[in-house]
Amino acid sequence: MKAAVWMVSAVVMLSACGGTAPKNESVKAEQAPAVASGDTRVVKSRDGSFEGEVIGTPAADSRFAQLKIGMSMREVQDVMDRAPDRSHSYESGKRWIPFYFGNDARRMQALFRGEGCLIFTDGNVWGGAGGDLIQIQVDPSGACYQP
């Protein structure tokens, strides 16, 4: 009798833990940034030391077309001739890697209305370094900005 009770409780616990979570497509759609053009390109930084992404294609005469992966925030502001309209900082998953000393433990997202969003590295776990442009999202509607 005790063995049967133990067996039933073990089966109940395993069935509760062993299944896969149901897929909720509406949640995934909400989290995906809106993009003016569906193409994503992996691009080397100006100095070739890392890779970044360009999502969408900027208009040839736009200021976003002049941006390059690896630019600093100051260089971007000089090209854009203004500061971002909105920005926020958040932790990246690299924050929790033991002994990670890179400059990508935090990231900053900046919105330039009428152009799109930019993602910069925002420093290591102690707040130093950072400031490299790693992603350009062309989205004149501004829907790419997710605070």
Using one digit for the tens of pLDDT, what is the confidence trace for 59-91?
A: 999 999 999 999 999 999 999 999 999 999 988
Give the integer Cα–Cα distance in Å for 54 and 39: 8
Using one digit for the tens of pLDDT, what is the confidence trace for 82-118?
A: 999 999 998 888 878 888 777 888 889 999 999 999 9
Annotated domain spans of the chain: 35-138
Written as one string, the DSSP assignment of 48-105 is SSSEEEEES---TTSSGGG--TT-BHHHHHHHHTS--SEEEEEE-GGGGSTT--SSBS
